[in-house]
Amino acid sequence: MLRALGGRTLAFGDLVQSTHDDQVTVQFTLHFKDGSLQDETTVYSQRGNFHLLSDHLVQKGPSFPHPMEVSIDAAKHEFTVHYTENGKEKDESEKLDVPEDAANGLMQNLMKNIAPETPQTTVSLVAATPKARVVKLVISPSGKRTFSAGGSSRQATDFLVKVDIGGVAGAVAPLVGKKPSDTHVWVYGGDAPVVVRVEGALYEGGPIWRIEPASFVFH
């Protein structure tokens, strides 16, 4: 479920994951009340390490000021994006060496595999600006947060995810108001870690929204 920080429900979502040999396919879909859609399908291998194979992201509708469709094919070194600029639809395609540690579409599964005591983890992200730009995500634990489950109080590790643009662009971003916002990911540990909350923006410059599991009500 996707909510504004004030608690208003914006969208309902589904997360479907399937495994074939060492390949995992994850589809995460958000259906907005205003008719908007975010749909991302990610394929990766998990032979020792997570390795992105492909990622396809669609964002469209009134909740997204800059709707786009982005595809990454790591094997073919291809990056394609379909977007709208000044009312005109455009397509861009370019060759891209996808980093070995690219985390597009993998963040929730990745976060569940980071030990709470790990001081810092850095991975790559291919961002559409709309041209491809590789940035770094710097992940570090930021204390414990209490939540309730089944009537009992439990604690999750709050991981802080910062975007490091790098280079000259990174140095000037705060001055022109384009420094990406931080994301918080709450992970409840144990033998089967689970992400219980994500707070962050779904697109560059977007509002901070909250994603968390929906509560089941049986009648």
Is the per-residue pLDDT at 95 higher than 70? yes
Three-class HEC string of 180-213:
CCCEEEEEECCCCCEEEEEEECCCCCCCCEEECC
Q: What rounded mean pLDDT belongs to the chain?
A: 89
Q: How would DSSP label each residue in 68-79?
A: EEEEEETTTTEE
The model's confidence at residue 85, banded by pLDDT at 50, 70 and 90, is confident
Range 113-127 average pLDDT: 94
Phi-psi sector, 74: left (phi>0), alpha (psi -120 to 50), beta:
alpha
Q: Is the pLDDT of residue 119 over 90?
A: yes
The string of pLDDT tens digits covering residues 168-199 is: 444 433 433 466 899 999 999 878 899 999 99
Query: Which amino acid belongs to residue 106?
Result: L
* Residue 75 pLDDT > 50: yes
Domain ranges across the chain: 2-211
**pLDDT number for residue 166:** 66
Percent of the chain with pLDDT over 70: 91
Q: Is the separation of the CB atoms in 87 and 66 below 8 Å? A: no
Give me the pLDDT at residue 190, please: 79
Between 166 and 11, the more confident residue is 11
Which band of pLDDT confidence, cut at 50, 70 and 90, is reported for residue 52? very high
- Count Cβ neighbours within 10 Å for each residue of 108-146 and write b for 16 or more, e otherwise: bbbbeebeeeeeebebbbbbbebebeebbbebebeeebe
